[in-house]
Structure 1
Amino acid sequence: MTITVVDARRHLRIDGTNDDIELYQRLAMAEALIQAYIGTPPADALQAIQRRTDYAAALDAVTLLVLGELWMNRESSTAAPLSEHVKTLLQMFREPTCV
């Protein structure tokens, strides 16, 4: 994923750098939540995602959505940053599993 703290500040409409440490933490958390949800795709699939700029852009957009949820509800212990909408968007990246 290619989201920077500058991207995060712009997305969240934060002026200044006072919140950068917390932004880094929330961004790492958003990326970890997404990675845990989609699983680890095989190396060739991951390379394909990185080559396809539309997929990379979609993954970045979803990361910003999750980051926004984490930021807006940073004092809550009951917020669900992976909403049903986000999960639907992440389906194209999800590692297939057997049930």
Structure 2
Amino acid sequence: MSAESLERRTRNYLSNNVPQIQEHGGHFEIEDVDNETGEVTVAIGGACSGCGIAPMTMRAIRHRLPDEVDDISKVTVRRAGGPRAAVMPDKTAEMEEMEEYKDYEPPF
């Protein structure tokens, strides 16, 4: 299997199963694919950079990609940077303490 094939399958999974990223003005980039080790690095940016629950999305991607895309052994997810990237504080811990988010799972 080629790295391009693994990259394509990763991109297809994210496009088809994590539409919230694009629907909310964000985007993702497949930054690196190591076909031999199965390690994939994904960056999320755009509106995701300013989203307080981006860490929950990142965690979901990190946990679900290896289960859903054959040959992926490890996923690293980071926020896309840049000199003007506005990053909101992580709201994950605060949300996990709120009753309405007790059983929250991103819808993908």
Do the structures match in fold with TM over 0.5? no
Q: TM-score, normalised by structure 2?
A: 0.35
Q: Which has the higher contact order (CA 8 A, sep 6+)?
A: 1
